[in-house]
Chain A
Amino acid sequence: MRLAKHLILVFCVLACWSFVPPVHQVEVVLEYNGKPFELNDSSFSCNGEPIVFTSLKFYLGQFEFRKSDKQVYRHQGFLRKQGDGYVADDGYHLVDAEYDSTRFILLRKPFNTRFKTLRFCLGVDSATSSSGAMSGDLDPTKGMFWAWNSGYINFKLEGTHPHCPTRKNQFIFHIGGYATPYATLQTLEVKSRKYSTKVVIDIADFLKGIDLKTENHVMSPGSGAVKLAKRSAHMFKNAIE
């Protein structure tokens, strides 16, 4: 009888465990020249002149836990806080520098898997971009969907720099476009730990190789956006080539 009780207890624990999906945390670290990235901070400089950022937003998604090219486990949705609990949600995660909490991504991962790296994309894939109205972070109220050329802005960076010969020295990069030959989605891979992964992004590395005198606004799909999208892949400090 006592043994049976113990067995039931063990069974209950195991049952509970299997109902709680394993969670993997991704922390997105935002930097500028190795220092913590902040919006509206006037202490950063670019080419010897002060640079101020007013907006930084981008989509991350399609996370895959990988052991090798053959052993790939797609993540099973995001866990998002809603009220007192969490809800599972597919789709994409929007990192918005204005809200620090958006730097932390909780991924549901398959039970009992071993993996070495985490692969993901910067931006929204073409099927999702043409599937109509989306919820959560993909809701058009997030300001990341183009009304007059359907598709998501994958990466948005806005700010001011004295080299920009524009109104109020503004630069505006809204990088997106999913249709060939102007697709802008970028795929990246970083080394992963068992329960968490850091993704380090240095915005200074994005701006290297961009001449703000001549390249200061891209707001539609095309070759300019493709060039900047390729540039944006360089800002992932710990990406595996």
Chain B
Amino acid sequence: MPLSNSIIISAALVLLALGWGFAPKMAQKHDFEIPDGWPEPHYDFKKNPLSEEGIQLGRKLFYDPILSRNNTVSCASCHLSYTAFTHVDHDLSHGIEDRIGTRNSLAIMNVAWSNTFMWDGAVNHIDVQALAPITHPKEMDEKLGTVIEKLKANDDYLELFKSTFGTPEITGERLLKALAQFQLTLVSANSKYDKVMRNEPGVAFTEQEQNGYKLFKAHCSSCHQEPLFTNNGFANNGLPVDTTLNDAGRMKITLNAKDSLKFKVPTLRNIEFSFPYMHDGRFKKLPQVLNHYAKGMEKSKTLAPELVNGIELTSREKVDLLAFLLTLTDKEFLFNPDHAFPRN
């Protein structure tokens, strides 16, 4: 009797071990870290748990021109890691066949804390954000269904989808969730500003930066709220309408006249690298932005109440404020090899 018992037990163990070997390998969980002192992210990670495999799949997709109609344009074409994931040097970003769009690409960072996307908030969730550039005729000009057919014909992708999601099935949902996973890891929280706030040893603001920070809190922080340097809202900051574009901004989405000429309040993090500035990229340099707030604003019904009197600064104050804004540069983020083109 004891013999047969032990046979049964060992057989069970062998079967269990075999089952273990054949069971699909689970993707390796990735812990999303919330930087010290930051609020809870807006993104619901329970609906799309981050995994190392998912992030790498998203990264490969982000850098792969397979998402565009003629396989020439990738997400990274307009969102370069070294420039805070935006398209520098062009006022209006260009896409497939050098077609020029109507706005300056936004920087991609700290998206887990954002609940609206695009300059007019046309997109309501980071998961579905990628649909917009993939399908736009001036960006990637492709159909989601065709992207999926192209991916299905690629053994590398079948393998990556399998290791991320358990089966090699490629769906719109999985493609979008993988792209979101990579973008959610693009967290910038290691600028000089952050280190000063965390009281890290050996890091301190200079007198100039400290004074700039004081000016920032007095004049800018109601919209560009710390620590994300945006309130995730929309505002009219008094830019005279560019009549070649006649862009009404947020009003196009809400159809409410109160939203006329309002655009997303962008983060100021890594602003040193994300030029040109504003939704139409009209300012190439930061001093031009400060001059705009001093005396370039056009009054209109929807002008942000905080800006009605302009932000008058002395030239000394402007220099100090700029010095502070440069402390928002996060080189660990900009030059993080995990964010760059995947070289296997």
Footprint of B on A, CB under 8 Å? 129-135, 139-141, 143, 145, 147-151, 179, 182, 221-223
Contact = CB atoms under 8 A, between A and B. Distances in A.
B31 interface: no
B180 A147 contact: no
B176 A140 contact: yes
Contact of A149 (B122, B127, B136): B122
B252 to A, nearest CB: 8
A167 to B, nearest CB: 17
A129 B125 CA distance: 9
A135 B126 CA distance: 16
27 contacts: A130-B125, A132-B44, A132-B177, A133-B127, A133-B173, A133-B176, A133-B177, A133-B180, A139-B172, A140-B128, A140-B173, A141-B145, A141-B148, A145-B131, A147-B123, A147-B131, A147-B132, A147-B134, A147-B135, A147-B136, A148-B135, A150-B123, A151-B124, A179-B254, A182-B255, A221-B255, A223-B255
Contacts of A135: 171, 173
Given A133-B180, A135-B171, 13 more contacts: A130-B124, A132-B127, A133-B48, A133-B125, A139-B171, A139-B173, A140-B173, A141-B148, A147-B131, A148-B132, A150-B124, A150-B125, A151-B124
A150 B172 contact: no
Interface residues of B, number: 27
A71 B176 CA distance: 39
Interface string B145-170: 10010000000000000000000000
A150 B173 contact: no
Contacts of B145: 141, 143
A145 B176 CA distance: 13
Contacts of A221: 255
A133 B172 contact: yes
Contacts of A143: 145
A149 B124 CA distance: 8
A152 to B, nearest CB: 11
Contact of B144 (A129, A140, A150, A151): A140
Interface string B107-129: 00000000000000011111110
Query: Could you say which of A129, A139, A140 has the most chain B C-beta atoms within 10 Å of its C-beta?
Result: A140
A13 B324 CA distance: 75
B172 to A, nearest CB: 4
Nearest to A130: B124
A140 to B, nearest CB: 4
A60 to B, nearest CB: 20
Nearest to A223: B255
Nearest to B254: A179
B67 to A, nearest CB: 13
Nearest to B146: A141
B136 A148 contact: yes
Query: Could you say which of B122, B124, B135 has the most chain A C-beta atoms within 10 Å of its C-beta?
Result: B124
Contacts of A182: 255
Contacts of A149: 122, 253
Query: Could you say which of A132, A134, A148, A222 has the most chain B C-beta atoms within 10 Å of its C-beta?
Result: A132
